[in-house]
Amino acid sequence: MSRLISFVLNASTVTFDVPAGRPLLDVIRGDADLKGTKHACREGDCGSCVVLVGEPTGGAVRYRAVTSCLMPVAAASGCHIITIEGLDPGRIGPLQRPFVDEGASQCGFCTPGFLVSLAGHLLNCTTWDVGPAFNSLAGNICRCTGYASIQRATARILGTLRHRVDLDEPRFAALVREGFLPSVLRGARALALGLEPSTDTHGVDRPVAGGTDLYVQRPDDFSFADVALVPTRRGGIRIEGGEIVFAGSATAEDMKRSRELAAELGDMTGAMDLMGSLPIRERATIAGNFVNASPIGDMTAMFMALDAELELVGDGGRRALPLRSFYLGYKNLDLRPGELIDSIRIKRRPGLLFNFEKVSKRTHLDIASVNTAAALRLENGVIVEAGLSAGGVAPVPLALVGTEALLIGRSPDAETAWAAAHSAAAEAKPIDDVRGSAVYKRLLLRQLVLAHFQVIFGLADELVEVPA
């Protein structure tokens, strides 16, 4: 079944009569016949298909770089979509020039994705430093250049803007003024503000949130499918009395940026940067991570250690369920048909010490071989509360309850660290797979539990087992 879906595409409003589930990528390349957006994986892992999705919110439009291969077109309804064609000033502009001069493009296939991601960064950044800019390009793969030239081009662009644009002035207008965005986009942005998002997909029982699990390598299943969108345009992360409350639709990027969360758990930037890439994090929801039930879900591991409680809403009403009771077996959940995760709650515990560890073949944009989160609280120098989780070591995300019990009442020293590390390794039941052998994963979990003590308590050399 198809629906009429309207959005602003680059400079003009478009309406397509298409199935709601069709990947935005296919609408752009097919229905709209814009071939500048490329695709090289259809699983969110290459960034060739990145477009900007501008979402009108309260009189402003917030632009995010997303992988269009994983996004249902219905989610673009009422938005302003900018593709590489939309960034093209019809000549070589100041965004493009450094890429040409530095040779930051060889075969060119990745180039549109890089430029769109970079434009997304320029629209949102709060500093002209290269670090965050490079981070925003971590979801874009280039096989030709080795990235050094892309880094140089990016640094040049930031260097130019540092002198020309005040961080506080309205960014969109400033980038248009400086020629980094074509001026026609300004009018298009205004058009988007007038559009009504129409995501009424009532009566469809295939909920999609970010689509970053559902759509992976399954364009065929969705190209002609109707889907229901889990509302993602509300919620966020807030403090409610003694609890931190997360909307189920809060994204990984929301977690990274939340000041409220940072105040409770410490800076989450480092931990969240280990999850996916910016375009994935912008769409990846917490509830989606839970329901996908991957044994190596990063947010799942974090919330397990934090002993979160789910608030489920369905035809039968609302019910609360500890996340630790959600997983019944491999990809088997205590989730009733039609039920949605509405929100997630964790208790505020002043002085809680939180850490997340993850090792994968590639540090960024990779799935963990093993991940683990620790949430510890001390009183009078001894551990009085301990949450410890592990992913990648069992068919389900694991709460290491035996190790948690062991930690209570101990002081956080090397001896405790080693005891916990050995206990965690003993609780793990890993298998051999493409992410590592069982022996490795067990050993890795041991080491990552030690790493928690290194990070949280500043232990270091004491953790090194002196080789015999």
Partner 1 sequence: MSSPDLEAHVRGTSRYIDDMADPAGMLHAAAVTSPSPHAELRAIDAAPARALPGVVAVLTAADIPGLNQIGGIIQDEELFATSTVHFIGQPVAVVVAETFHQARLGARACVLDLEELTAIFDAREAAAAGELITASRTLDTGDVDAAWADCDVVVEGRADTAGQEHLYLETQAALAIPEEGGRIKVWSSTQAPTAVQRITARVLGLPMNLVEVEVTRLGGAFGGKEDQATPWAVMAALAAQRTGRPVRLTLNRHEDMVCTGKRHPYSSDFKLGLKNDGAIVAYEVHLWQNAGAAADLSPAILERSLFHATGAYFVPNARIHAASCRTNLIPFTAFRGFGAPQAMFVMEAAIDRAAEVMGLSRSEIQAKNLLSEGDEFPYGMRVKRSRARRSFNEAAGRFDLAAVENEIAEHNATHAVVKRGAAAMPVCFGISFTNAVLNQAGALVHVYTDGSVNVSTGAIEMGQGVNAKILAVASAALGVPRERIRIENTTTRTIANTSPTAASSGADLNGSAAGLACRAIADRLRSVAAERLDTPFDRLSIADGVVLADGEPTGLEWNELVWNAYTKRVNLSAHAHYATPGIWYDKETEQGEPFAYHVFGTAILEVTVDCLRGTSTVDRVRMVHDGGRSLAPAVDLGQLEGGLVQGLGWMTMEELVFHQGRNLSDTLSTYKIPDLLGTPVIEGHFLDDADNPKAVMQSKAIGEPPFMYGIGVYFALLDALRAFRPDRKGVYDAPLTPEKALMFLHGDR
Q: Which residues bind ligand FES (CB under 6 A)?
A: 39-42, 44-49, 67, 69, 105-110, 142-145
Of 44, 4, 1, 6, nearest to 25 by C-alpha is 44
Question: Closest approach of Cβ 417 to ligand FAD, in Å?
Answer: 26
Query: Does residue number 189 form part of the binding site for ligand FAD (CB under 6 A)?
Result: no
- Distance, CA of 120 to CA of 108 (rounded, Å): 19
Do the beta carbons of residue 86 and residue 37 sit within 8 Å? no
Candidates 19, 78, 112, 391; binder of partner 1 (CB under 8 A) is 112
Site track for partner 1 across 130-169, x = CB under 8 A: ----xx-xx-xxxxxxxxxxxx------------------
Name the residue whose CB lies closest to ligand FAD. Answer: 288
- φ and ψ at 109, to 5 degrees? -70, -35
Q: From the list ligand FAD, partner 1, ligand FES, none, pick the one residue 69 interacts with, judged by a Cβ distance below 5 to 8 Å according to partner type.
A: ligand FES
115 lines the binding site for partner 1 (CB under 8 A): yes
Do 329 and 350 meet the contact criterion of CB atoms below 8 Å apart?
A: no
| DSSP E strand boundaries for 68-225 | 80-82, 207-208
CA dihedral 462, 463, 467, 468 (to 10 degrees): 70
Q: How far is the CB of 37 from partner 1 (least distance, A)?
A: 8
Nearest-CA neighbor of 384 among 412, 354, 413, 409?
Answer: 409
Q: Which of 146, 194 has the CB closer to partner 1?
A: 146
- Rounded CA Rg of the chain: 23
Tokens 């409220």 label which residue?
A: 260
Q: Which of 42, 121, 189, 283 is the binder for partner 1 (CB under 8 A)?
A: 42
Q: Are 124 and 53 in contact (CB under 8 A)?
A: no
Strand partners, 332: 329
Query: Binding of ligand FAD at residue 367 (CB under 6 A)?
Result: yes
Question: Cβ(251)–Cβ(238) under 8 Å?
Answer: no
209 binds, among ligand FES, ligand FAD, partner 1, none (CB under 5 to 8 A by kind): ligand FAD
* Site track for partner 1 across 69-108, x = CB under 8 A: --------------xxx-xx---x---x--xxxxx-xxxx
The count of C-alpha atoms lying within 13 angstroms of the C-alpha of 215, restricted to the half-sphere facing its C-beta, is 33
Q: Which is nearer to ligand FES, 24 or 428 (CB)?
A: 24
Q: Which strand ranges, in their side-by-side order, compose the sheet holding 309-314?
A: 237-240, 243-247, 340-347, 309-314, 317-322
Distance of CA 256 to the CA centre of its chain: 9
Give the contact letters, 241-280, x = binds to ligand FAD (CB under 6 A), - = no.
-------x--------------------------xx---x
Is residue 211 within the footprint of ligand FAD (CB under 6 A)? Answer: yes
Closer Cβ to ligand FAD, 86 or 276, answer by number: 276
- Which residue among 27, 65, 141, 284 contacts ligand FAD (CB under 6 A)? 284
454 binds, among partner 1, ligand FAD, ligand FES, none (CB under 5 to 8 A by kind): partner 1
Comparing CB distances to ligand FES, the nearer of 29 and 452 is: 29
Which residue in this structure is represented by tokens 């009078």?
Answer: 380
Q: Which stretch binds partner 1 (CB under 8 A): 239-247, 251-259, 398-406, 445-453?
A: 445-453
Residues 6+ apart with CB under 8 A from 260: 237, 238, 239, 244
Find the shortest distance in angstroms from Cβ 68 to ligand FAD. Answer: 12
What is the closest distance, in whole angstroms, from the C-beta atom of residue 70 to ligand FAD in the complex? 6
Tell the burial category of 417 from Cβ atoms under 10 Å away from its Cβ (0-12, 13-18, 19+): buried
Q: Work out whether 342 is an interface residue with partner 1 (CB under 8 A).
A: no
Query: Considering beta carbons, is residue 142 or 390 the nearer one to ligand FES?
Result: 142
DSSP 111: H
Q: Are 425 and 446 in contact (CB under 8 A)?
A: yes
Nearer to ligand FES, 70 or 209 (CB): 70
Angstrom distances, CA of residue 448 to CA of 338, 369, 422: 38, 11, 11
Residue from 17, 166, 196, 220 binding partner 1 (CB under 8 A): 220
| Residue 458 makes contact with partner 1 by CB under 8 A | no
Footprint on residues 268-307 left by partner 1 (CB under 8 A): none
Cβ-Cβ contacts under 8 Å for 238 (sequence gap 6 or more) = 244, 245, 260
Residues 39-98 that bind ligand FAD (CB under 6 A): 43-45, 70
What torsion, rounded to 10 degrees, do the Cα atoms 325, 255, 455, 375 define? -30
235 near ligand FAD, judged by CB under 6 A = no
In the complex, the residues that contact ligand FAD under the rule CB under 6 A are: 43-45, 70, 207-214, 216, 230, 248, 275-276, 280, 283-285, 287-289, 291-292, 297-299, 340-341, 367
